[in-house]
A and B are shown apart, each in its own frame.
Chain A
Amino acid sequence: MGKPDKPVALSRASQPGGRSRGVSEVLEAPAHPSELWASAPATGSWPAARRATPMPIVLKKNQRWRVIAMHAVLLGFIAITLLPMLMILSISLRPGNFAGGSLIPSAISFEHWQLALGFPTQDADGNWTQPPFPVLRWIGNSIKVALISASAILLLSITSAYAFARLRFAGQRGLLTALLLLQMFPAVLALVAIYAIFDRIGELVPWLGLNSHWSLALAYTGGVAQYIWLIKGYYDSVPRELEEAAAVDGATRWQAFVYVLLPLAKPILAVVFVLSFLAGMIEYPVASVLLQAEDQLTLAIGSRLFLFDQRYLWGDFAATAILAGLPLTAMFMLTQRWLVSGLTAGGEGTRCVGRTTPAPRDLSRLRRARCWWWRTGCSRRQPRGLAASPAGRRA
């Protein structure tokens, strides 16, 4: 370079607003247990020390242009992400069932929303249209199935992950690997088998046969393997000494699990519950095989009925889609506090090179975060401050 770069300090104001917000959210979230475990003599309470967000690093002069370019790219990216969402909203508010047209509708009509919510509508000629499908009932069905399967998955995965993380038994490694491999096959491949199994079960236990929400929830619960891995990885990052201390304090294994380990694992439990709930809400192939009666359908398969071969009810479909997103949004709002700290646990309290996750705000991001989590192998995380090998500490 011809002339030396003049240092320019980057003030907080010139930082991307969204980014700093994300950071403060992470900081306010409950810390990961291994973070609280910091063993060095503390000179003060760490949250106060950490809240100074902008790093006081002196930056090169061309940093400003980079920031501007970065903003442009990010804004474009956000626009691409938001466009489909806005289009669906626009279609649902537009009179008639048209997929095309301008983003801002020329006339606003709530006919699709009325139909989706189960009210008949009257058009300009005075003809009454009855709601074509029981949309609210479908949403109810979806929530029911997703709640049952998410609860079952949570119960099964917290306990089996404990076994894999804390107990020693024959075939442990083999079983873990088997879990990993088995869940790599898409459930779609087993559709025929799933259908045949539940058809057969239904002959003996009618309420657990075809066209039953219980059987669908049971089929979804089969996807527990990846959550076991997820939770096991988190358990591994909680120091064993905590449970040992509880044991010396008089706790049984179960008490140490319930009073010490589970409260510390709260963030990951929220993550697992939300992810499995989400998976139950949006699943299509298995539900389409197991459920046939119209009033039993979940929303994911039901909404397909809006799109006849001869006539596509785009408007009704769009209103239904937005309606379906509401319970999920509500759930994310409720659990966001834990979700953020659960999903960023790796970056905050444990070592894993080169990973940062934004606070998940929407479904696609969360799904991406899940894939990312998966790839980086959460089970290999090392708690900070306990990086020494167990053998070294025991010496």
Chain B
Amino acid sequence: MSEVASVQLDKVGKTYPGGAAVIREVSLDIADGEFCVFVGPSGCGKSTLLRMIAGLEDISSGEIRIGGRRVNELAPSERNVAMVFQNYALYPHMDVAANLGFGLRLAGYSRADAASRVKRVAEMLQIDALLDRKPASLSGGQRQRVAIGRALVRDPGVFLFDEPLSNLDASLRTQTRLEIARLHRDYGRASTIYVTHDQVEAMTLADRMVLLRAGPGAGELSVAQVGTPLALYHEPCSLFVAGFLGSPKMNLLSATVVSLAPDAVRARLAGGSEITLAVQPGVAAVGDAVTLGFRAEHLRLGDATSPNTLPCQVQWLEHLGDLSYAYLADASGAKIVVRLLEGSRARVGDQVHLVLPAEHGHVFDRAGVALVRCGGRT
């Protein structure tokens, strides 16, 4: 039994010899038993960060601690971690039992000991019937299980998953996602770090989500926001986070501040309509250019008498069965997506009045930083 391991990252950075800084000052504290997901657009360095924790990439600055112990200089084998690779990386020349037992064999377990542990894990993952098969004769889902089993059997303190579901088909992906969540819950003791570019995986699995940013933006750090999935969804701290999470994407409208109150900002949209948003003005001033954000599910169609409305024309409708999406354009041509519930009578070409609820509005200043919302769930 291994000790439970928390993972701390302290201003960890990685710069390639060419000069590209892929990871910029990441500081994180992942507690025992926590399920932490790294998510971000491609090229943001999330896999690199995971490989740095595993010890497969060296780090240029900062410190990584696992279970309170500095591991910067330790080899992967000494870090008490296990990793599931995107392509599973099963050893093609060994059968499943040998794949599972490889780490145990290296660690010097007795043959009987290793066999019983392999058997236990194989039963847990329902791959005990496959133990004498070679990886080449397994299906994608079975390979995935073997890869997870190979990580489990060593009883590590930290599990690292590098986009483990991206090679599975859609239905298998959902099933395996649930299974990974269950395994983590049952296993309990170990912390898990999971890398994905799929926000659905991130939202559903994470206790805590770390959204990473791509590209060496001027002085920007790699981490855009850290928090529970719902906190990131409902209270994005920046335009980048707001735009990355959610499907369809958050509607973003450019506007100008016209007046300020202690708990409200009034802004004029490009089309001329003025709307009020329940946010604290902070450092914003009258005349500032801002970006307003509304999620599709918070918008509804109303009539001209409602406050905070924006006249629009319906351009296209998508019916998904339980709900529909309406694609609207306002007078200035800005595109807006609205989720309509069943029974909506909107037709393509209709002139409608879109209600923008003040309490659901997000306001981002010129630098893309969110203004604090009143009654937000921070």
Contact = CB atoms under 8 A, between A and B. Distances in A.
Interface of A: 31, 33, 35-43, 45-47, 239, 241-242, 244-252, 255, 259-260, 263-264, 385-386, 392-395
Contact of B169 (A31, A41, A263, A385): A41
Nearest to A41: B140
A46 B137 CA distance: 7
A42 B91 contact: no
Q: How big is the B interface, by class?
A: 35 or more
B5 to A, nearest CB: 14
Interface of B: 42-48, 51, 54-56, 75-77, 81-83, 85-93, 102-103, 106-107, 134-141, 150, 154, 160, 167-169, 172, 197
Contact of B87 (A241, A251, A263): A241
Contact of B102 (A39, A40, A43, A249): A249
B75 A259 contact: no
Q: Is the interface of B mostly helix, strand, loop or mixed?
A: loop
Contacts of A255: 106
Given A263-B93, A395-B43, A41 B154 contact: no
B178 to A, nearest CB: 18
Contacts of B54: 248
B86 A41 contact: no
B74 to A, nearest CB: 12
Given A249-B103, A395-B47, A242 B81 contact: no
A255 B107 CA distance: 12
B89 A39 contact: no
Contacts of B55: 247-248
Contact of A248 (B42, B77, B91, B138): B77
Nearest to B77: A250
Contacts of B102: 246, 249, 251, 259
Contacts of B92: 31, 33, 36-37, 242, 264
A260 B98 CA distance: 12
Nearest to B106: A250
Contact of B77 (A31, A40, A247, A264): A247
Contacts of B135: 36
21 contacts: A31-B136, A40-B167, A42-B138, A42-B139, A43-B139, A47-B136, A244-B56, A244-B85, A245-B89, A245-B91, A245-B150, A246-B102, A247-B55, A247-B77, A248-B56, A251-B106, A255-B106, A264-B92, A393-B47, A395-B44, A395-B46
B43 A249 contact: no
A242 B81 CA distance: 16
Contacts of A247: 55-56, 75-77
Contacts of A393: 47, 86
A150 B140 CA distance: 41
Contacts of A46: 136
B99 to A, nearest CB: 9
B134 A241 contact: no
Given A249-B154, A264-B93, A39 B167 contact: yes
B21 to A, nearest CB: 15
B102 to A, nearest CB: 5
B83 A245 contact: yes
Given A47-B136, A395-B45, 11 more contacts: A33-B93, A43-B139, A244-B89, A248-B54, A248-B77, A248-B160, A249-B82, A249-B106, A251-B106, A395-B43, A395-B44
